[in-house]
Chains A and B, each alone.
Chain A
């Protein structure tokens, strides 16, 4: 009798547990989320995480193309990056220069144009499309276009400067001008950022501007006190993406200058590429890649850390 009773109690408890579990499952169907991201997670594990781990391992070897197993060399490749390979330092500084100029300039141009294209003007949609179009052009194709623009003789840019009596500038032939030229070219791709800013601008409540008008604020005050603070999440996003993208600048230099003249446009990724696919020094290239990864990660974390001081998410 007692045994029967305890069995029925257990059954009841079990049913209660099942019922609770069902309710929990019903309410917290988190596995549905997992279901949706499952393909991405698998891709991430196979193509990103495993590649990252393998890359780190290869950076500690003298691996090259071939059937021979990678030979363990410890930190020798890193020593070469930081001590022996002068071009690694040159290419890193070139890249820092490029990032330092192209990221803020790109953000400023995109933000300014977004402000203009947010104004109530006729044909606004057409202008938005026109300004966005360049960012749809592949970098390789844009590089060919810009080669014509940068030509010393009869290049479009020099013809334009000639209108003001300025002598032709050897944009890609002189070491001092080659990097600024590529920075200038990078501004061509402002469209992606511009669209993000435009979306942000349209999300700013008009009541804020109306209140500012009542208080007698002028356009500059409205820009500085309302628009820019409310746009900081977009500025933050574009800053992070800009830093990550600019550190990996490659195609334009690869196609237009090959890293010259005098290594002026030898960017870090180009140097990495040369070591990997021209010299087949895969182990050393992996070390270069790890260093770049660490630099980008550190910068991203730094920017993220400072974001609490200048990014305004509203209500917090």
Chain B
């Protein structure tokens, strides 16, 4: 009797067939994110229980920690009002965020709603991966400029279309400074008259900056190095032309701005001494120099009030120790005024994938609207974090006034924010500019030369983008 042995060839053939079958199966598009649930009916009812379709919106975001709890609370309220929609809160780790976002939106089954930066949203919009929400806005009859702060909603706009509603909003990132009244007193300055112009800043910087053993002991001001675009606007300069086709940061206003920043850096002992003073420290730690009266002024993130309250509660409660001031402007330029920029890059968008089934897109928009425009949504989310809202009326909540001693002032400051038009190549432009600014910080180039070089490198990138569009 002939025994039939498995040959190498037949084995490989069988294996290849099995793997091919598995691959084909794996490449099949997944079923739409529709979850069937059974609706509860009264037990006495003899008729069969109706089956309804419940749509699942996968919401991919990067908000872990205490914010996850807040989001889940909002989702619970939302699902009560919209029982046919289930929001799956998919909080992602920050690690490799860019890859996750890009691969998720480019896949055949993107999440219902994806949280991305402004530059990413513009890029994805440009590539046709996400949908604008203008039709939804029109059908609901929303006047978005009435609802949101202008700077915030403007940042959601690209090629005359809206791609998201703002939340949490990156406005105020550069429009105000916190100043330390104790250090001002100790330095012989009047704590009730904080710097208003660049010239005032020079005086304050000189007075509050001290050295010991070649290192900074106290520093008058920080936050001037990474904010050249904002300072430029405070000198009546511009980053882009209004149509975002022409870079303007190397105009005379920009050069003057950079010269002023370089002079501040010199007062701080140079780049290495300045950076060594702040190395490893940030306002989310109790040993941040501002909380220990060794830093005079700093431009915080919009989330500062929550962090401040957490890490230095005694100081936060004592308004005799700190104050809020509008960003200083160039007092020598008659056209200059305080101006803040709503995030050039990191204004978060919640975007809807273009390849999603229509019902999932509708559901995703429903959730987006609830989460951003409803008081029990975005209003609650930001209030609990002590952050101002991009929605004007939410900021009138009395709890803001109770928890923030400078709330009245903050409402005024918010109006100084502007939205700056950008393009999907903004990161390349910003990186080119940053590289040249570093040359100035390290004394390798003069401000004008550096800005001209940045322009020469970045303008062709902008031109190439508009050329191919």
A interface with B by C-beta (< 8 Å) = 18, 22, 25, 30-31, 34-35, 38, 42, 46, 64-68, 140, 147-148, 151-153, 167-168, 170, 173-175, 260-263, 274, 277-280
Contacts and interface: CB of A to CB of B under 8 A. Distances in A.
Nearest to A167: B214
A152 B277 CA distance: 8
A279 B427 contact: yes
B427 A66 contact: no
Which 7 pairs across A and B sit closest by C-beta, in order of nearness?
A66-B127, A31-B8, A152-B276, A277-B98, A170-B272, A173-B275, A65-B102
Contact of A34 (B11, B106, B279, B435): B11
A262 B276 contact: no
Contacts of A148: 280
B280 A151 contact: yes
B15 A38 contact: yes
A161 to B, nearest CB: 14
B123 A25 contact: no
Contact of B106 (A35, A65, A278): A65
24 contacts: A22-B3, A25-B5, A31-B8, A34-B11, A65-B105, A66-B124, A66-B128, A67-B106, A67-B128, A68-B127, A147-B280, A151-B280, A152-B272, A152-B279, A153-B277, A168-B215, A173-B272, A174-B272, A175-B442, A262-B438, A277-B99, A277-B102, A279-B427, A280-B123
B428 interface: yes
B124 to A, nearest CB: 7
Interface in B426-443: 427-428, 431, 435, 438-439, 442
Nearest to A68: B127
A148 B425 CA distance: 35
Interface in B316-370: 354-355
Contact of B435 (A65, A151, A263, A280): A263
Given A34-B11, A34-B12, A35-B11, A65 B129 contact: yes
B271 interface: yes
B37 interface: no
Interface residues of B, number: 43
Nearest to A280: B123
B2 interface: yes
B428 A279 contact: yes
Given A22-B5, A153-B215, A261 B442 contact: yes
B134 to A, nearest CB: 20
Contacts of B439: 262
B7 A279 contact: no
B51 interface: no
Nearest to B123: A280
A208 B128 CA distance: 71
A277 B439 CA distance: 25
Given A65-B123, A173-B272, A280-B102, 18 more contacts: A30-B8, A31-B6, A31-B7, A31-B8, A34-B8, A65-B102, A66-B106, A66-B127, A66-B128, A67-B354, A167-B214, A173-B276, A174-B272, A260-B438, A274-B431, A277-B102, A278-B427, A279-B425
B244 interface: no
B69 interface: no
Contact of A170 (B7, B275, B354): B275
A262 B102 contact: no
Interface in B270-311: 271-272, 275-277, 279-280
A34 B435 CA distance: 53
B411 interface: no
B203 interface: no
A170 B102 CA distance: 36
Contacts of B3: 22
B423 to A, nearest CB: 12
Contacts of A18: 2
Nearest to B3: A22
Give the one of B214, B279, B280 with max A CB within 10 A. Answer: B279
A274 B2 CA distance: 63
B159 interface: no
Interface string B124-150: 101111000000000000000000000
Contacts of B12: 34, 38
Contacts of B427: 278-279
B19 interface: yes
Nearest to B105: A65
Given A18-B2, A153-B276, A153-B279, A173 B129 contact: no
A67 B129 contact: yes
Contacts of A278: 98, 427, 431
Nearest to B16: A42
Contacts of B128: 66-68
Contacts of B442: 175, 261-262
A65 B124 contact: yes
A167 B126 CA distance: 52
A68 B7 CA distance: 45
A44 to B, nearest CB: 12
B95 to A, nearest CB: 8
Interface in B407-449: 425, 427-428, 431, 435, 438-439, 442, 444
B214 to A, nearest CB: 8
B316 to A, nearest CB: 26
Contacts of A152: 272, 275-276, 279
